[in-house]
Structure 1
Amino acid sequence: MSNEELNQRSYLSTGSLKGTKFGDYEELNIGATSIRELRAAGVDTIVAADINFPFQAYKKLKKPESAKPDRVFLMRREGKLEPVATGEHKGPTKMRSPNELLRASEQGLFAAAAIGARVAITSDGKAWYYIDVEVSLAKGEIVYFADKRDFGPGVLANLLAGDAGVSKDPAPLAEKIWQTIWHATKEEPKQCLLTFVEIFVLKFLSDNLPLKTLPEAYRFYGLLADPKTFQEQHGITAIEYYVSKIRPFIKSIFPDNTVALDPQVGSTFGLSTIVSKTSVINGFAFLRSSSVTLAGFNRSFLDILNDFQDFGPLTTIDPEFKLRLYETFLRRSARQQKLGQFFTPRNVVRPMIRMARLDTLADGAIVLDPAAGVGGFILEPPLLVPEIAGNTTFSQGQAHRRIKFIGVDVDANTHILAKANTLIHHAEAVRDPSITISALNQLMAETFVLMNSNETLGSLENPPSEVVDVILTNPPYVTKGSGVYKDEVREAGTGSNGTDLRDYYDKSGLGVEALFLRYISGALKPGGRAFVIVPLGLLNRTDPGPKRRILEECNLLASIALPRNTFFNTAQLTYILVLEKRHTAADARPDVLCGIARTIGETLNWERVPSPRDNDLSDIAEMFVNLAKGDVTAADGSAIAKLVDADNFTENDRWDVTRFWTEEELVDLGQKESAVTRVDFIDETRTELQEISDEMEVAKKELQSLTSGPTQTIGIGDQSYFHVRSGTRVTGKEIRENPGNLPIYSCFKTEREIKGLVDASYFATHKGGRIENQADNPKGIVTVNANGASVGKVYVRRDQCGITDDVIIVEVNGEDIDLDYLAVALKAAVYKGGFLYEAKLFATRVRGQEVDIPVKSDGTFDVAQQQAIASAVRRFDALRTRLHDVGVRSETVRTI
């Protein structure tokens, strides 16, 4: 009779015992076949003579070999079939009481122990119980595994390996499967990524969702049957079955057009309703071919499924895998660079989240990424900040978030990846049978918002208004063709939330990243902070409009240079800018933390080998956090960071930071640019030169307009306007022997170089030097280098300092001559005089210079015109510096 059952179920059809494929195992679904008969049929086991266990509810059989388990699961090793688990199924009315459960469990334990299996499974079709056979026998009582998931191949694999809670990194799997998909379809890397994620989601859901939500017919494992057998059973290939049956079912579980119930999500953008328009899958590359039928891809499809199966269950996923995964695919895509989609490496995401100090946020706070991509800034914080690890909870079929993390994107495919990423990050919730699918759908709808009603503007169409606590973002970088965005703003007129976009984005500057900065400054609530990755070119542009708009609303807290090749698919130099929304226009501006990160904790080549000991960015982030906590000495003594007065970051200044390091300091830092490809160098340089050319044309018109008005010529020696004097002689030895905090300026090529820091009382008392710009005379001075190779250099000094006797000081009497304009005019006069090293510019010669001061129609000095000219000249000088930098880089860059 036993062989009859095995034959009826075709387990002996090949001449030897072969079960139905069950993941990595073989299953015998029987019930009338004894263990003795299974052994005779080919199961490799030694049947126990007796089961030593104090059974309480189950009356054990006299002979263990007589047990007839309902299901037996076998592992084939070197041709032998070894039992690994048994299963007992009871009717819904047979396990209602604790005693009935105990009886079923003891029956399962008896059969498993008799055949030598490690796991005994018992179920009434609704609840599943997994018994640890070895531990139960040793303790003399039933001991269950903690896993409560519905039974499947993935659960069995986890139980046997004991790795359900062990993180796995599927990045090597992604690398292998990318090759299979690409060779079969020749599709774009991003499409290959979507395909990988789609199959990943199927496997992940099959390993974690209950059977009532994802029935057996729609699971991953059924597709692994022998291709011939599968076609005989279903009439189509596995890939066709997946496309026609499983895909639609997955989409029905995670439907399009889910409404976000949390009103705070919609109100953030001034919208009454937010609708999640996509499912979690929609990117199957095998559907896109016009030359190969779907069935023709079946072999490649099965290869991919088998690779997933070989990898093992997808239960607990290494949190670092996701960004590695996206980089695996997207670093190969040239198209991504043109789109400006530079996905942020985890080693940059981590310190930015750390700097944001999310643990200090109150309940209901909003953290926003308006260019969220795959969601790193939105999904990572609970993994990195212990205080918000339990930020998301579930109850009564809904998800609840203490802090509202919201990510917005315009690209539907990227949005799908972000939603799939959400499921992966909440793997425990997916596994938990008490958490509903509708709650998970709500979580995804409220975490990621697709704004593509205007596909050009995306999230820019609906800017929030002073409601966001923290922004963490890496907006796209596009300057070429950026006029399209300005045209679209004009065409769109008003956003869906009623914002007049033409007024809102007026004078926001060149490039879509400049529009995002305007969006960010308006979105923050007073005191809110933004941590934004921007290209170096944005900081170097001389157009004052964008910076003026930012400074009207925000303080600049930090400007941090990232190393070249920080991002996989661009060598473009980038910065992290930190902004803080001002409470009032009268708020004092804090010092700016300037940093040069040479390293980010991993190599900057394609391999990305971890190098945790080399992580300047992490060190700078720590300094920022300490500074935010009130430690004004946070950057003291650091070679890679400096606190710089906010006056150096006006609308007319460059906002990059290397200008605050001397050449010697930069050499000591080993600041040597990484090699760049010749194509990247050409693209970067062409963009840079085009920007410089455009800005020079604007500067030309501005300078012509500003300098065409009436002026009055006055002499620097005219004591009714000026007081000219020399500085104080102080030697380097005296400074070294009397250290302090007072900077001493001398004849140097750059404005920030100092001869040293001396004790102020020593300088004033023993040397008889005058400390400039003290509280009783805070106006500032103009200095002229009188000697050395930098003769003729003119600077404005507003900080408390000492000046050496190699420098001439010009003080202004009265309030109607602007210091910055005087510096511009005096520099022009010195240059006209042709003063060189041989023609020293001591006090007498400085007094002999003349300057032209703009005047009004009534003959009084025009201070506003002076300030406008000074600002225009500063921008012109910045353009010259920028052009010089291009030349230097062209000469020194290492191209490959």
Structure 2
Amino acid sequence: MSEELIQRDLHKNPEKIGKWDYYNIGATSIKNLKEYGIIRNVDYGSEERKKVDALIVQKKNVIAIIEYKKPSEFKTEKQKNKAIKQELEVAKKLSAHIIIATDRKDTIWVNTLTGNKIKDENGQFIKEDFDKNDENLPDLIEKIKFSINELNDQIKPKQLVNPTDLAKQIWQDIWSVTGATPENCLYTFVELFIFKYLSDLGVLKGSFNFHTLYSNYEVNTEDEVLDNYATSVRPKIKTLFPENPIDKTTIINGTIFVSKDQKAVKGYSTVFKKVLKKFKDYGKLEHIDYDFKSQLFESFLKESISKKNWGQFFTPIKVVRAIVEMAKDEIKVGAEICDPACGVGKFLLEPIITKLDQFYEIKKGKLIPKITIHGYDKGFDKDEQKTIILAKANMLIYFSDLIKENTGITKEFSKLFNESFVLKTNSILGTLSEPVENKYDLIVTNPPYVTSGSSNLKEEIKKDGDLVNYYKINAIGVEGLFMEWIVRALKPNGKAFIIVPDGIFNRQNDKNLRQFLLDECYIDGIVSLPIKTFFTTPKRTYILCLTKKPNKKALQTDPVFTYFASEIGESRDVYRFDTEQDDLSESVLLYSFFKGNKKGFEKMNTDTRCKIQPIDKFKSENHWCIERWWSNEEKEELGVADEILKLKIEEFPTLLDEVSNSIISIKEEVQELVSIDDKPKFIKKKIKDIFDLKQRTNNSKFTKTFIDKNKGTIPVHSASKFPDNVDYGYVKDNLKGVKYFENCLTWNIDGSIGKVYFRKGRFSLSEKVIPLVVHEEYKKDFDLLFLKYAIEMEFQKHYFGFDNKAGKSRIQNIEIPIPVDKNGKFDILIQKQLAEKFKRLEEIKKSISDELDKVSSTEIDFE
């Protein structure tokens, strides 16, 4: 234990630097820090023995490590580099953003991700002294933390642009004049953005340059300038970046100012000039930082009034980055990576943005990829081409630094764009039309999920013998087909990180799909995302992490990482403001520790949002909706027990669509459950003939005093309205005068009247609970779960209540139906089958109730 932390009361009352906790602790080891809950309680390996001079921490996240040196040890460059190297490994283990080395006169600031010194806005190495009492220190650290990453060691200049305001203005200009859909406004904005961008990069020159075209307004009419753009500039861009000869898509496809026959659209030349002026006034787009590239389309989406369609290919950037971080070990030279429903390509582009030099080499005028990315999309409705066009435009923006340095090989870049993103137009099945097997090292995706209309796809599959043999599971909805494609397309030992809707984890009709996943893959982890994570749907979604088995006979023995996230670090509304609570980032960090020590991680885990589940739970449970595996008490502790959905009035119809589709899919499950080929025969048996009602109860033995004196491990169940709770507590086994039971049914005289409970293991009961113990002669003839449901159905007819209590005398002659075989013997196999159906029907009723509760409990905002 650390005497330093205790003596100075640092474990309870740390010093402060701005909003962060500051620990000046040269005598405390990393192991001590985690034992006191200052940093995460995970395995830091050999670094646990090390000590650091000081830490800046926020909610167990290490912001900076400080190394204090004597002036005599911090004079030369060699000594300073040694000080940095000394702390680099421990800083990486602790996921610290910054290393600060100082002798209190001279200070070095280092980016942990690169090991390089950090520069200020002007490109000079930061030399500000580290003085914890300096009121400007928190602002400096905040700016550094915001700016640095794997690619950047410099504080972002204040003048760096962000597209949000520009996108908003241009969208309003175009929409107000043309009345075009937000989708077409976006495509038009992106095309003109690419025009300005290529001009600023020096790719478009002379008469084709943005500034040259704009200067033409001095001598030409507005119509003539727009015509010049349509007939001269656009063809030039398409020459520099040729279209894919197969799907005919390139990086631009304007839909408002230029017609399909490549002519200027009359009447729009004035708004065209207005838009160009805003681009001109906005300044150069040459120096675009990391976040600018990542958030271009997402920023524009915030202004879109047609969010339902956009949800088909927009995944919030924070979710994309979380999945990329989880998958980062698989993103390496030589890997083949796929997104079969790629939208604008974020899942494929985010992993490479900071590693372009590592993954792409330019040699003798040739662009040589060292990694292969494949993004496929079918598009939707009449605008099939446009998502792929946006993906290619997005890729151009991500590759801007390479393009700027190699403006003469645009066709090489275009070839890469065309090979990376491909439109599938040969069939309504899109990506699903090609039965790919054992091809990809990694698949990262957010496939579409709809149940209505998927029958058309299944009919198309039936026409092709190869596809019939490929899609064998008959899962519900488009998402089910995609799940099967993903698993079959993975190489053995390949990984997949997939965003899936709750239906896949909950629907009884998809139990075969879940079994398929268990048969073909190792289930590595599931993260439950909060409702409204996505722009367009209140549906709960999950991140599913899979590894394809090297062979089907391999058995999973490792446990499964599960995490219940309530927030993703941004508000779950159209504005998407950054918020302090970020469970998603925490889940990603813990998952990385879990991967390194799957069997030992559970012992170290102290995060109540994280549970390490045995794989057997996924085999035995009827659903994989992991947040339901947290008790009500645990949810209350997390503050999510009464999660209320809040929607804008225009979002409410989307909720109704979601609920309607869910209930329709539930109806199909019920129809399957109630279909009976051969109706079983039944005979009636009295309760007293099945159960030994002479079993003695405990009268009023269990008082609070008695239980406090005899605390143990045996639960004492009461007639509580919440029978899963052990209200009375736990007592010792084999107490004199106490009656114990094992693996039997119980019936409450009052409390939760009307319900029978199957109590597994050893337990005891209060005086208000009747044990229903099967007569010894019938032990092998009855399935207890079946008896539970059969008794409940009969008891419902007798209207038991507080004024008509269900004592032994009142229930003993009640008859319940028992299935028998053709010889008149009790048929335990049919009992088990019926019990499973009853159990599932209870779950279905709860699912329907939950769906309807979503509607009734939703708060509507009219503003």
Relative to the length of structure 1, the TM-score reads 0.67
1:885 aligned to which of 850, 855, 861: 850
Provide the rounded CA distance (Å) in 2 between the counterparts of 1:727 and 1:834.
26
Matched, 1:808 2:771: yes
2:393 aligned to which of 405, 420, 428: 420
CA deviation map 1:80-115 (0-9, x unaligned): xxxxxxxxxxxxxxxxxxxxxxxxxxxxxxxxxxxx
* Matched residue type, 2:334: G
Partner residue in 1 for 2:421:
448
Provide the rounded CA distance (Å) in 2 between the counterparts of 1:771 and 1:205.
80
* Matched residue type, 1:436: I
CA deviation map 1:484-523 (0-9, x unaligned): 33333334x25xxxx32476155211x3223222323333
Moved more, 426-435 or 395-404: 395-404
Provide the rounded CA distance (Å) in 1 between the counterparts of 2:218 and 2:312.
43
Provide the rounded CA distance (Å) in 1 between the counterparts of 2:208 and 2:770.
83
Provide the rounded CA distance (Å) in 1 between the counterparts of 2:739 and 2:282.
75
Matched, 1:433 2:423: no
Partner residue in 2 for 1:790:
752
Matched, 1:672 2:643: yes
Count of aligned positions? 692
Moved more, 715-724 or 326-335: 715-724
Matched, 1:252 2:255: no
The alignment's C-alpha RMSD in Å is 4.4
Matched, 1:513 2:482: no
Partner residue in 2 for 1:28:
none
- On the 8 A contact 2:461/2:467 being kept in 1, the answer is no
Q: CA 1:706–1:528 in structure 2 vs 1: closer, same or farther (change >3 Å)? A: farther
- On the 8 A contact 1:696/1:876 being kept in 2, the answer is no
Partner residue in 1 for 2:58:
none
Provide the rounded CA distance (Å) in 2 between the counterparts of 1:803 and 1:552.
40
SS at 1:287 equivalent: coil
Q: CA 1:833–1:453 in structure 2 vs 1: closer, same or farther (change >3 Å)? A: same
Question: Could you tell me the percent identity over the aligned residues?
Answer: 30
Partner residue in 2 for 1:190:
183
1:284, CA displacement in angstroms? Answer: 4.0
Provide the rounded CA distance (Å) in 2 between the counterparts of 1:738 and 1:627.
39
Partner residue in 2 for 1:115:
none
* Matched residue type, 2:446: N
Q: CA 1:735–1:354 in structure 2 vs 1: closer, same or farther (change >3 Å)? A: farther
Partner residue in 1 for 2:445:
473
1:219 aligned to which of 182, 190, 209: 209
Q: Mind listing any 5+ residue stretches in structure 2 that lack a counterpart?
A: 1-123, 125-154, 380-384
Provide the rounded CA distance (Å) in 2 between the counterparts of 1:772 and 1:568.
52
Partner residue in 2 for 1:603:
571
Q: CA 1:837–1:279 in structure 2 vs 1: closer, same or farther (change >3 Å)? A: same
- On the 8 A contact 2:243/2:418 being kept in 1, the answer is no
* Matched residue type, 1:699: V
1:415, CA displacement in angstroms? Answer: 0.4
Provide the rounded CA distance (Å) in 1 between the counterparts of 2:193 and 2:810.
78
The 5 Å alignment of 1:713-862 reads 747=719, 753-755=725-727, 763-764=732-733, 781-786=743-748, 788-796=750-758, 802=763, 804-805=765-766, 806=769, 808=771, 810=773, 817-818=782-783, 820-831=785-796, 835-836=800-801, 852-857=817-822, 862=827
* Matched residue type, 1:892: S
Provide the rounded CA distance (Å) in 2 between the counterparts of 1:821 and 1:645.
27
CA deviation map 1:104-137 (0-9, x unaligned): xxxxxxxxxxxxxxxxxxxxxxxxxxxxxxx9xx
- On the 8 A contact 1:474/1:534 being kept in 2, the answer is yes
The 5 Å alignment of 1:279-318 reads 279-288=250-259, 294=265, 296-318=267-289
Matched, 1:205 2:198: yes
CA deviation map 1:409-447 (0-9, x unaligned): 112211011111111112221122398334323432332
Provide the rounded CA distance (Å) in 2 between the counterparts of 1:756 and 1:468.
55
1:690, CA displacement in angstroms? Answer: 5.9
The 5 Å alignment of 1:85-100 reads none
1:681 aligned to which of 641, 652, 662: 652
1:764, CA displacement in angstroms? Answer: 4.0
* Matched residue type, 1:283: G
Provide the rounded CA distance (Å) in 1 between the counterparts of 2:535 and 2:234.
32
Partner residue in 1 for 2:66:
none
1:398, CA displacement in angstroms? Answer: 4.5
* Matched residue type, 1:808: P
Provide the rounded CA distance (Å) in 2 between the counterparts of 1:667 and 1:500.
48
- On the 8 A contact 2:565/2:584 being kept in 1, the answer is yes
Provide the rounded CA distance (Å) in 1 between the counterparts of 2:399 and 2:501.
33
- On the 8 A contact 2:377/2:388 being kept in 1, the answer is yes
1:196, CA displacement in angstroms? Answer: 1.5
The 5 Å alignment of 1:71-220 reads 168-209=161-202, 214-220=204-210
Q: CA 1:185–1:849 in structure 2 vs 1: closer, same or farther (change >3 Å)? A: same
Matched, 1:566 2:533: yes
CA deviation map 1:362-411 (0-9, x unaligned): 65333322111111111112347x8x983333335544455433221112
1:343, CA displacement in angstroms? Answer: 0.9
Q: CA 1:744–1:531 in structure 2 vs 1: closer, same or farther (change >3 Å)? A: farther
1:311, CA displacement in angstroms? Answer: 2.4
SS at 1:821 equivalent: helix
Provide the rounded CA distance (Å) in 2 between the counterparts of 1:637 and 1:317.
40
Matched, 1:365 2:335: yes
SS at 1:705 equivalent: coil
Matched, 1:524 2:494: no
- On the 8 A contact 1:364/1:402 being kept in 2, the answer is yes
Matched, 1:379 2:349: yes
Matched, 1:653 2:622: yes
CA deviation map 1:126-165 (0-9, x unaligned): xxxxxxxxx9xxxxxxxxxxxxxxxxxxxxxxxxxx9999
Partner residue in 2 for 1:409:
377
Q: Which one has the largest radius of gyration?
A: 1
Relative to the length of structure 2, the TM-score reads 0.69
1:470, CA displacement in angstroms? Answer: 3.2
* Matched residue type, 1:238: V
Q: Mind listing any 5+ residue stretches in structure 1 that lack a counterpart?
A: 1-134, 136-161, 259-274, 774-780
* Matched residue type, 2:312: Q
Q: CA 1:408–1:831 in structure 2 vs 1: closer, same or farther (change >3 Å)? A: same
1:604, CA displacement in angstroms? Answer: 2.3
- On the 8 A contact 2:338/2:444 being kept in 1, the answer is yes
- On the 8 A contact 1:747/1:807 being kept in 2, the answer is no
- On the 8 A contact 1:461/1:501 being kept in 2, the answer is no
Q: CA 1:294–1:834 in structure 2 vs 1: closer, same or farther (change >3 Å)? A: closer
SS at 2:442 equivalent: strand
